[in-house]
Amino acid sequence: MRKAIFITGGASGIGRAIARKFANEGWFVGLGDVDASGMAETERLLGSSDCFSLRFDVRDRAEWDGALDAFSKAAGDRIDVVANNAGVPLGGSLDENSVAEIERCLDINLKGALFGAQASLPHLRKSAPGSCLLTTSSAAGIYGTAGASVYSATKFGVRAMTEALDGEWAEFGIKVRSLMPSFIDTPLLEHAPNAGSNEAIRTRVTDAGLEITPVEEVAEAAWRAVHGNELHTKVGKTARRLAFASRWMPGRVRKMVRANTHSL
């Protein structure tokens, strides 16, 4: 039977790249996002026979159930992978971030991921063993990023959720994995880090001398994560170097972060 993957944040960027990769491998793809026009473009790229899309908000627990139930029905009563990918950026020092910005980042990046995991469990149990919950964390979940405390907190939360559920769901035969990309070439880089800034994230990244990784590398990493045994898959040179340095040279990483207190 044809395998099926449901992807949140599928209207653009990492979600669209994952959708294209899995569709090219013969999977049936489901897209969930608040951006209906973006999903329509992703669906056009995939071909209508390979895709199902539904507009919903990951912050709404009940909408998660409705979205997964609808996709399961369209996919022949099975979901093999849920890519818990929807997320928003937020940069700037903590005192620059408004209450609304903080709550939105927490609600989408962390609560949305938790709600997605909770709603996914019965579907992934049905297709286990070998089914997978794949959640997009970040290099900011390896070591806190100066100038992005709220965003880092959400991505550390996703990392912790992944590790906890890897233990909780082992008895069901469900894989739980995370992606930890560094700066990826997606439309999010064109956004300002917060409402008080008019400078794009891309500008700050390039000015800091950091590399921007092609989004296709994340899609390939997602494929490896679903089919491999690594709990957290690092994507991009910055993520891999940070993971190495935070483990073996934590003092050096701390000095670097303190020297770049407003990197985003």
Q: Are 83 and 15 in contact (CB under 8 A)?
A: yes
Q: How far apart are CA 177 and CA 14, in angstroms?
A: 16
Q: How far apart are CA 109 and CA 159, in angstroms?
A: 11
Backbone angles phi, psi at 166, to 5 degrees: -60, -35
Q: How far apart are CA 159 and CA 176, in angstroms?
A: 11
Q: What is the pTM of this model?
A: 0.87
What is the chain's length? 264
Higher-pLDDT residue of 14 and 247 is: 14
| Average pLDDT of span 212-218 | 82
pLDDT digits over 60-87, tens only?
Answer: 999 999 999 999 999 999 999 999 999 9
E runs forming strands in 86-217: 132-136, 175-181
The rounded Cα 53 to chain-centroid distance in angstroms is: 18
Q: DSSP string of 43-58? A: HHHH-GGGEEEEE--T
Q: How far apart are CA 12 and CA 19, in angstroms?
A: 10
Tell whether the model's pLDDT for residue 209 goes beyond 90: no
Q: Which of 151, 156, 183, 223 is catalytic?
A: 151
pLDDT digits over 81-116, tens only?
Answer: 999 999 998 988 899 999 999 999 999 999 999 999
3-state secondary structure of 199: coil
The mean of the pLDDT values for the chain is 87
User: What does the radius of gyration of the chain's CA atoms come to, in whole angstroms?
Assistant: 18
Tell whether the model's pLDDT for residue 260 goes beyond 70: no
Q: What is the pLDDT of residue 185?
A: 52
> What domains appear along the chain, each with residue ranges and CATH number?
4-259 (3.40.50.720)
Q: What is the pLDDT of residue 189?
A: 47
Q: What is the pLDDT of residue 263?
A: 52
Q: Which H/E stretch holds residue 29? A: strand 28-33
Tell whether the model's pLDDT for residue 192 goes beyond 80: no
* Residue 151 bears catalytic tag: yes
| Average pLDDT of span 153-177 | 97
